[in-house]
Structure 1
């Protein structure tokens, strides 16, 4: 999504950066895992398809994708490529054209201030208990179960108390401009 193409979120333990072509080879290697495919309800893609998907996610107006970097590793090895510090990804999908305040999320982040979201949904495979438990700890409630797709839908309605809780939980996160290696070095954009 273009709204986050130049956004880096700096946390204490993780750094979120836009999903760029630099990240594709490592991401592609992850997605060869049958377990990850099962947990994310994904099909294996060729490397070329993965590059096309990355481009689509970057350009589409209904997706917001970040790569999660291990902050300690990234800061300890300033010359290391970002792909060596990758530990995951975070996705937000704007799925309801009738309700622009609703976003389907895979991992909780503080995205509501920029995107004006006040509802988050997570669709998780019924057998993925670790993810279901994690979202329930983040105050999500189960609102549906789809037996055809073998998934549950969990929702978080962001009331003012929930909004304040989320802001408190993410108060340490700092937003910075992100530039990939083609735009400048990490040192030039350092804090």
Structure 2
């Protein structure tokens, strides 16, 4: 999405930056992991396909993706590649552009269990509400990804549907002023030019 192509979102522990070509090789290495493929319901892509996918996420108006950086590493070293820990994205689902499907992946095992994913999701939700004007969010999660299911439930998402065929659950949340205010209280949120 071109809307997010020139910004960085700073939180307390993470920084969200647009998914650019320079991130693709490390992202491609992550996605060779069978564990990540299973948790994200993804198929392995060739490096060339990954570059095409990155371009699609950057150019298509219904897709918004950010790479998640460890803020301390990024500020200390100024190196986006070395600070990469995962990604988060929103896919605009409906014709009136009011519903976004949100996804999160913390690929670096050393960054897991530290609430970096939760912080990145909150920053992405706030961006979706304020800058994309989304009114409803959905998250489709593998039934065996109990950590992600629990995290989204703690953020107020509730089960909408369950598919035994696809082995996933769909959680949803409608945006309200009260919920948006609660999200703002969880983490600092600051947008800067990239």
Normalised to the residue count of structure 1, the TM-score between the two structures is 0.88
Does 2:158 align with 1:160? no
- Cα offset, 1:54, TM superposition: 0.3
SS at 1:36's partner residue? helix
Q: Take 2:38 and 2:93, find their aligned partners in 1: how far apart are those partners? A: 22
- Cα offset, 1:173, TM superposition: 1.4
Which one has a larger percent helix, Structure 1 or Structure 2? 2
Count residues in correspondence: 174
- Hey, what does 1:123 align to over in structure 2? 140
| 1:117-156 mapped onto 2 (5 Å cutoff) | 117-156=134-173
Uncovered stretches (5+) of structure 1, i.e. residues with no partner: 179-191
Aligned mate of 1:87, from 77, 85, 88: 85
- Hey, what does 1:59 align to over in structure 2? 59
| 1:10-25 mapped onto 2 (5 Å cutoff) | 10-25=10-25
- Hey, what does 2:97 align to over in structure 1? 100
- Cα offset, 1:169, TM superposition: 2.2
- Hey, what does 2:189 align to over in structure 1? 173
Greater shift after overlay, 27-36 or 142-151? Answer: 142-151
Q: Take 2:101 and 2:90, find their aligned partners in 1: how far apart are those partners? A: 6
- Cα offset, 1:132, TM superposition: 0.3
- Cα offset, 1:152, TM superposition: 0.4
Uncovered stretches (5+) of structure 2, i.e. residues with no partner: 105-120
Offset from partner CA, 1:50-74 (integer Å, 9 cap, x none): 0010001100110000000000011
